[in-house]
Structure 1
Amino acid sequence: MKPTCVVSLGPKRYNSEPESHDTSPNYDPHEHRNVSRSTTNFETLIHMLKAFLGTGILAMPEAFKIAGLAHGFIFTILIGIICIYSLHMLIQAQYVLCKRMQVPLLTYSDSIKAALRSGPSALHKFADLSSYVVDVFLIIYQTGMCCVYLIFVSVNVKQLLDEFLPEPMALELYTLILLTPFVLILSVPNLKWLAPFSFVSNLLTLGSFGIILYYIFSELPSIKNRQLVGTLYELPLFFGTTLFALEAVGVVIALENNMKTPKSFGGYFGVLNFAMFFVTLLYAGIGFLGYWRYGEETRSSITLNLENKNLLAKLVVGFYSVAIFISYGLQGFVPVDIMWNRYLSKRLSHLKHAWICEYILRIALVIVTVLLGILIPLLGPFISLFGAFCSSTLGIVFPAIMDICVKWPYNLGYKYWILIKNIFIIVIGILGLLSGSYKAIAEIVRNLSIGDYS
């Protein structure tokens, strides 16, 4: 007699036969979704590009300075492939779990809870805890992204405006001044209304890239003067920076959940593959060319290498600062959505003006990022830290665990090759988390101790 997997989440309970993946052939979760203000394929693609074309891509030349031209290009492509594959595993696992439970939609945290309950018995006791862990990691990660975006805009606005002032103003003051504009952009209530902002942001971003490439190709030195491979000790920083740049798992899940036609998200020619293929090549190209051009003078953001007295350079800084400012609203949508819809709205629904509490939450999130930006204004190491700590877990380790669980125990492939493959991916993620986090924290401490905030 075959064992029966039991998946339980909330009041529904679903008993399943493992060999058939526990799915009802007549139930398609995508056809039962009823999302208010859902986004079209084009709007989703626009948001996807905006989510990935953030501050991370401007840090890629510095990442290549750490890894070298050859290692940097190869590892960027490999990390991109792992990220794409992991996102597909996550989306597919969520779909299978929705079919098993006959629900149209599951959040990331609910998905991993259901997955662990249907996986190996040793993991069942961690199911409830895993839901909270995922939510906490998503909140930390997306808040960290917002913090990095705030630091980026503050640094670049200071670069633009200081020359017009009698005396340069402290970075902390610029950060405080930006508090109100960031509160306003985070007050846009849903992804549908954010789509036009993301479209404008993408146009500004592509225009900025065009000007950056003009600067790069105007004075390319001999490539012989650039190192091809970096030191093993420094590679964790490269891993953290690149993973931060190529992972946006919280936004990706939110976008897929809010699509009008979610079937178009996955697949060989779906929105996910199209966006990630373009983004991965762009990241590798900008990193390679940026380090080739500026070498050991490459800074934490390539915009800081441009001749800031030149009008074109000022346009790049201005355009990209506006683009990142707009992106803050998209990145901040995720932690607000988790904290409000999963934990606070039901507890505060009895209040007459509960919606005011939601906007207080949005203001509080901006204040937290402002305080972090003032306390730790180190863009490069901060990017590496959040990339290594949260992206490794959310974007690599958890999807692999979920893939094992939803296919347990009869669908793990010939000689358990799927299990072996996923264990290998989990090991990569854990090694990246430990080594990258340690190196980034050490770099932050070192820079703070010597007063270097560049």
Structure 2
Amino acid sequence: MSSPASNSNSIHQRISSSPGKSHRLSTVNDETSDEFKAELLRKHLVSKEERNKSNTNSPSHANSASVSGADNTGSNNNNNGAGGATEASEESEEEFSAPLDVPGADITHHLYAWERQHRNSTNGRPRSMSFSNVQSALESQSEGEVDHSLGYLRHPGGFRRQYIANRARERGDQEPEFANTTFVDYLVLFGHFAGEELEEIEESSEEGRDDDRRKGRSERDPLLPRPIPIRKRSTSAARRGTASVTQAVLMLLKSFIGTGILFLGRAFLNGGLYFSTAVIIFIAIVNMWAYLLLIYTSYKVPGSFGDIGGILYGNKMRLAILASIAISQMGFVSAYTVFVAENLRAFVVAVSESNLNLPTILFILMQIPILTPLALYRNLTKLSLTALIADAFILIGIVYLFWQEIAVLVARGIAKDVVLFNSTSYPLFIGTAVFAFEGIGLIIPVVESMREPKKFPYVLSGVMVALTALFASSGFLGYAAFGSKIQTVVISNLPQDDKFVQSVQFLYSIAILLSIPLQLFPAVRIMEAGLFVESGKYSNKVKWKKNLFRLFIVFICIVVSILGANDLDKFVSLIGSLACVPLCFIYPPLLHLKACAKSTFVRCTDVAMLVFGIALVLFTTSLTIAAMLGE
């Protein structure tokens, strides 16, 4: 619908084009007042009374009067509309209503709407704004303008927040920031993983196409058929972020903190105390550098991670990036599955007092009935409760773990068998460290969600400093407290007969189990988008094909989990080396090199990081595989 402002600019053009009236409207131009335009317009509109009279005579008379504005209608309006429109508005607010039931109504409808809006704004009794505000908001949204205050209404307490925001705008103050009381915004990041539009958009036109196929072609079909898109994407430019700096920090912290922090104690054993501390700081710096390269590239070439690669290097690069993302996410799912199985096994052994020692593979298979239905969810908001519970349990587990490790160090001091550098297994630490810092898939979505995306480099720097301190402290304290006896999952080193430890162990396992579907979602949607054209909303056949495909992906992840169950620390290192290193250390400098590198120094740094990433993949992957096969 065109806006009233644009209608007012074109009204005198439509009126002046009427036959026999141009000599009377010679003075109408862009500087003519709206009052004068409205007065002239009323002479050509048909009132309700006139339309009712014409209906009793002949339909053709009403049609001609409403569409062409004949002279006899104009003369009638001279008496009823021109001279008395202002006076009659007190008696009948809808004197000139849009005749929607006559031919040609869509042509003249906006003229009636403009006249009605002008009358409401100038008469002595203004119209109630309870509806007109909503109508104007909807009209502004149809023109591409977003009223962010309406977004508050979706959440509890939304009317109050909308009122406060409106009052602030009326005073000219900055709109206040409201705390995010729901978990949906965090889940939306996984729907835009790596900037890809992964949420299924069910288009209503698909149902219409199915109906048309059954009925055959009709007069409503376009002569030139439009191509059916494989999937609907909303570009980053179309989305306007609303998240504050604080909200962006919280989303990044939620994205990075998971199971990796629990593997770092064992990883410090593989690398040595001092070596691991130095390397984890170095890995954090290189990771932050890679993230910034990707962000600066996205400023130059807007789009998702894969789209940027496709624009710069072609479709093969896009497919390579998407394949790496899918492989890394499936690797995370497999590692998380083994982690849950190991924790549940230790929990059962502790509760049964070593009377029930079941194999790890059995606990992996026990997760299938839970993962299968959760993997079939296509709406991420339905997983908000499970994700919230998972993060709460993870926070409880991390706090208790730090408290226990510090208590052990205070009571017994540093373990005597701690080494500063482990020359035999140090490559395993590098892969685990990269695994712990992996989160590049959520970088672009967080930037797009920010109200001020240019501040993201400062946000990322602060978050990376905090994460480095957290991860380094976790690995250092765990290895220093338990030495060579540290387990792959450090919770297993805590007193197993303690009921609270058992509770933490069980809750942390449930937390990771509930977060597995979020890790699986990006991989499944990336592959589904390439394999299936239709969404499946109106086709049970397509829907069940997708369901079977998701079950197949879950089966693949379970098989990989079983294969890596015996060496969880090496398995995590392999995932970090093979899947995470290319995403962090190879693709970002490669994209930045072509899009942004102008000076020789920048080109050299990009090439150096690219060579470092390739060498790291070959070195750590080969040694990790050799270590797994050697045992």
* TM range, smaller chain: 0.7 to 0.9
In structure 2, what is the equivalent of residue 247 of structure 1? 438
Describe the shift of the 1:360–1:40 C-alpha distance in structure 2 as closer, same or farther (beyond 3 A).
farther
The question of 1:82 aligning with 2:286 is answered: yes
In structure 2, what is the equivalent of residue 277 of structure 1? 465
- Indicate the structure with greater helix content: 1
Contact (CA 8 Å) 1:381, 1:444: kept in 2 or not? yes
Contact (CA 8 Å) 2:338, 2:568: kept in 1 or not? yes
**Which of 394, 411, 415 is matched with 1:205 structurally?**
394
The question of 1:109 aligning with 2:303 is answered: no
Distance 1:185 1:230 in 2: 43
The question of 1:32 aligning with 2:257 is answered: no
Contact (CA 8 Å) 1:41, 1:264: kept in 2 or not? no
In structure 1, what is the equivalent of residue 295 of structure 2? 91
Which amino acid in 2 is paired with 1:218?
A
Report how many residues are paired.
Answer: 391
Contact (CA 8 Å) 1:236, 1:432: kept in 2 or not? no
In structure 2, what is the equivalent of residue 433 of structure 1? 617
Q: CA deviation at 1:302?
A: 0.7
Distance 1:337 1:232 in 2: 41
Distance 2:437 2:382 in 1: 25
Distance 1:93 1:390 in 2: 21
In structure 2, what is the equivalent of residue 236 of structure 1? 427
Map 1:113-152 onto structure 2 (within 5 A). Answer: 113-116=310-313, 127-152=314-339
The question of 1:256 aligning with 2:485 is answered: no
Distance 1:330 1:190 in 2: 11
CA deviation string 1:299-333 (max 9, x = no partner): 21111222222112212211211221122122112
Contact (CA 8 Å) 2:256, 2:438: kept in 1 or not? yes
Map 1:43-442 onto structure 2 (within 5 A). Answer: 48-98=252-302, 106-116=303-313, 127-162=314-349, 163-164=351-352, 167-220=356-409, 221-223=412-414, 225=416, 227=418, 229-253=420-444, 255-256=445-446, 260-261=449-450, 263-264=452-453, 267-270=456-459, 272-341=460-529, 343-346=530-533, 352-353=539-540, 354-377=542-565, 378-408=567-597, 411-412=598-599, 416-442=600-626
Which amino acid in 2 is paired with 1:388?
S
Distance 1:167 1:30 in 2: 53
Distance 1:251 1:358 in 2: 25
Describe the shift of the 1:227–1:172 C-alpha distance in structure 2 as closer, same or farther (beyond 3 A).
closer
Residue 603 of structure 2 aligns to a residue whose secondary structure is helix
Q: CA deviation at 1:406?
A: 0.2
Identical-residue share of aligned pairs (%): 23
Distance 1:111 1:93 in 2: 8
Distance 1:350 1:30 in 2: 26
Which amino acid in 2 is paired with 1:256?
V
CA deviation string 1:383-418 (max 9, x = no partner): 00010111111111110111111025xx23xxx111
Distance 1:43 1:363 in 2: 35
Map 1:1-40 onto structure 2 (within 5 A). Answer: 30-33=236-239
Which amino acid in 2 is paired with 1:88?
L
Distance 1:395 1:47 in 2: 19
CA deviation string 1:202-230 (max 9, x = no partner): 22112111211222122214448354631
Residue 90 of structure 1 aligns to a residue whose secondary structure is helix
Distance 2:334 2:288 in 1: 25
Describe the shift of the 1:194–1:72 C-alpha distance in structure 2 as closer, same or farther (beyond 3 A).
same
Distance 2:524 2:244 in 1: 22
With 392-401 and 163-172 compared, the bigger mean Cα shift is at: 163-172
Residue 497 of structure 2 aligns to a residue whose secondary structure is coil
Distance 2:251 2:515 in 1: 9
In structure 1, what is the equivalent of residue 205 of structure 2? none
Q: CA deviation at 1:34?
A: 7.7
Which amino acid in 1 is paired with 2:510?
V
Describe the shift of the 1:277–1:263 C-alpha distance in structure 2 as closer, same or farther (beyond 3 A).
same
CA deviation string 1:357-388 (max 9, x = no partner): 33333322222111111222121001000101
In structure 2, what is the equivalent of residue 103 of structure 1? none
Q: CA deviation at 1:250?
A: 2.8
With 237-246 and 212-221 compared, the bigger mean Cα shift is at: 212-221
What TM-score results when the alignment is normalised by the length of structure 1? 0.78
Distance 1:340 1:39 in 2: 30
Higher relative contact order, structure no. (Cα contacts within 8 Å, ≥ 6 residues apart): 1
Distance 1:31 1:110 in 2: 14
Contact (CA 8 Å) 2:535, 2:543: kept in 1 or not? no
Distance 2:592 2:420 in 1: 34
Describe the shift of the 1:283–1:400 C-alpha distance in structure 2 as closer, same or farther (beyond 3 A).
same
Distance 1:140 1:218 in 2: 39
With 89-98 and 284-293 compared, the bigger mean Cα shift is at: 89-98
Contact (CA 8 Å) 1:211, 1:312: kept in 2 or not? no
Distance 1:160 1:67 in 2: 28
Describe the shift of the 1:358–1:51 C-alpha distance in structure 2 as closer, same or farther (beyond 3 A).
farther
Distance 2:319 2:237 in 1: 28
Which stretches in structure 1 are left out of the alignment for 5+ residues? Answer: 1-28, 99-105, 117-126, 448-454
Residue 219 of structure 1 aligns to a residue whose secondary structure is helix
Which stretches in structure 2 are left out of the alignment for 5+ residues? Answer: 1-234
Describe the shift of the 1:39–1:238 C-alpha distance in structure 2 as closer, same or farther (beyond 3 A).
same
Contact (CA 8 Å) 2:582, 2:614: kept in 1 or not? yes
Contact (CA 8 Å) 2:269, 2:422: kept in 1 or not? no
Q: CA deviation at 1:292?
A: 0.5
Contact (CA 8 Å) 1:64, 1:288: kept in 2 or not? yes
Contact (CA 8 Å) 1:244, 1:384: kept in 2 or not? yes
Distance 1:201 1:336 in 2: 21
CA deviation string 1:19-67 (max 9, x = no partner): xxxxxxxxxx7542389xx989777655543432222111111111122
Describe the shift of the 1:232–1:190 C-alpha distance in structure 2 as closer, same or farther (beyond 3 A).
farther
Contact (CA 8 Å) 1:71, 1:228: kept in 2 or not? no
Q: Considering only aligned residues, what root-mean-square deviation do their CA atoms show, in Å?
A: 2.8
Distance 2:546 2:289 in 1: 35
Contact (CA 8 Å) 1:266, 1:273: kept in 2 or not? no
Of structures 1 and 2, the larger Rg is shown by: 2
Q: CA deviation at 1:295?
A: 0.7
Which amino acid in 2 is paired with 1:390?
A
